[in-house]
Amino acid sequence: MEEPGQGTGRRPARVTSTSAEQSPPQQREEGRLRQQRRRRRTATRAAGSGLRKRWRLATGVRYGLASGPLDPCGRPPVHEPASSSRIPPAAILRWLADPEAAAPAPPEAWTALLSRCHTFRLLPQAALRLADEPKPIPPLLTSQLSRCRVASFSRSAAVLRGGLRALDVLSTAAIPAAGFKGIAAIAWLQHGRAERTMADIDLLVEARDAEAAGLALTAAGFTTKVQGVSAASLRTFTSTSPGSAGNESLTLRDDAGAEIDLHWKVGRMELDQVIGAARPARLLNREVPIVRPAHALLFSALHALRNDFLPEVVLRDLLDAAGWFSLLAEDPQEQQIVRRTAAFTGLEAPLAAMACILNDLEVQGSQWLAPAWSARALADLFHTQSDGLMLNRDLTYLFSLRPLLQILGGLSSHGPAYLAAMRATEAAYGQTSLPLRTRLRKLLGAASRTSLRQWSLLRALATAKDQLN
Give the DSSP per-residue string, 256-317: T--EEEEEEEETT--HHHHHHT-EEEEETTEEEEE--HHHHHHHHHHHHHHTTT-HHHHHHH
Q: Tell me the average pLDDT across 224-251.
A: 77
Cα 386 to Cα 367: distance, rounded to the nearest angstrom: 24
What pLDDT does residue 32 have?
Answer: 66
Q: Does residue 436 share a domain with residue 328?
A: yes
Q: Does residue 227 share a domain with residue 187?
A: yes
Q: Does residue 160 share a domain with residue 144?
A: no
Confidence of residue 339 (pLDDT cuts 50, 70, 90): very high
Q: Does residue 271 share a domain with residue 285?
A: yes
Residue 64 has pLDDT above 60, yes or no: no
Would 13 be classed as within a structural domain? no
- Report the range out of 117-126, 141-150, 368-377 with the highest average pLDDT: 117-126
Closest CA to 154 of 255, 253, 251, 258: 258
Instruction: Examine the fold and report which residue of 150, 175, 194 is the final residue of a domain before the chain moves on.
Output: 150
Q: Does residue 299 share a domain with residue 346?
A: yes
CATH number of the domain that 397 lies in?
3.30.460.40
Q: Does residue 230 share a domain with residue 193?
A: yes
Residue 423 has pLDDT above 80, yes or no: no
Q: Does residue 207 share a domain with residue 118?
A: no
Q: Does residue 210 share a domain with residue 99?
A: no
Q: Does residue 159 share a domain with residue 93?
A: no
pLDDT in tens, 318-332: 999 999 999 999 899
Residue 15 has pLDDT above 90, yes or no: no
* Full domain range(s) for residue 397: 151-466
pLDDT in tens, 258-288: 999 999 999 999 999 999 999 999 999 899 9
Would 32 be classed as within a structural domain? no
Would 15 be classed as within a structural domain? no
Would 252 be classed as within a structural domain? yes
Helix (H, G, I), strand (E, B) or coil at 179: strand
What pLDDT does residue 94 have?
Answer: 93
Asked if 123 and 147 touch (Cβ cutoff 8 Å), the reply is no
Closest CA to 421 of 163, 258, 413: 413
Cα 222 to Cα 21: distance, rounded to the nearest angstrom: 91
* Choice between 297 and 407, residue whose per-residue pLDDT is larger: 297
Would 29 be classed as within a structural domain? no
The dihedrals phi and psi of 14, each to the nearest 5 degrees, come to -80, 125
366-396: b or e for each residue (b if 16 or more CB lie within 10 Å)?
Answer: beebeebebbbbbbbbbbbbbbeeebebbbb
Residue 40 has pLDDT above 60, yes or no: no
Would 58 be classed as within a structural domain? no
Q: Is the dihedral of CA 341, 343, 346, 352 positive or negative?
A: positive
Looking at the chain, the whole-number percentage of residues with pLDDT higher than 90 is: 41
What pLDDT does residue 45 have?
Answer: 45
Closest CA to 283 of 388, 165, 396, 368: 165
Q: Does residue 276 share a domain with residue 296?
A: yes
Residue 348 has pLDDT above 90, yes or no: yes
* Cβ-based neighbours of 356, under 8 Å, separated by 6 or more: 365, 375, 376, 378, 379
Residue 78 has pLDDT above 50, yes or no: no
How many structural domains are present in the chain?
2
Mean pLDDT of the chain: 79
What pLDDT does residue 222 have?
Answer: 94
Asked if 389 and 466 touch (Cβ cutoff 8 Å), the reply is no
Q: Is the dihedral of CA 343, 344, 350, 355 positive or negative?
A: negative
Residue type, 426: E
The dihedrals phi and psi of 203, each to the nearest 5 degrees, come to -125, 145
Q: Tell me the average pLDDT across 169-185.
A: 96
What pLDDT does residue 100 have?
Answer: 85
Would 39 be classed as within a structural domain? no
Q: Does residue 231 share a domain with residue 160?
A: yes
The dihedrals phi and psi of 350, each to the nearest 5 degrees, come to -65, -35
Cα 249 to Cα 224: distance, rounded to the nearest angstrom: 11
What pLDDT does residue 461 have?
Answer: 93
Q: Does residue 414 share a domain with residue 277?
A: yes
- Report the range out of 67-71, 297-301, 363-367, 400-404 with the highest average pLDDT: 297-301
Range with the lowest mean pLDDT among 16-25, 228-237, 265-274, 449-458? Answer: 16-25
Q: DSSP characters for 228-266? A: SS-HHHHHHHHHH-GGGTTEEEEEEE-TT--EEEEEEEE
Would 64 be classed as within a structural domain? no
What pLDDT does residue 39 have?
Answer: 59
Q: Tell me the average pLDDT across 398-421.
A: 70
What pLDDT does residue 187 have?
Answer: 94
- Report the range out of 128-142, 333-347, 355-369 with the highest average pLDDT: 333-347
Instruction: Examine the fold and report which residue of 135, 150, 165 is the final residue of a domain before the chain moves on.
Output: 150
pLDDT in tens, 89-113: 999 999 999 888 888 888 888 888 8
Instruction: Examine the fold and report which residue of 150, 173, 201 is the final residue of a domain before the chain moves on.
Output: 150
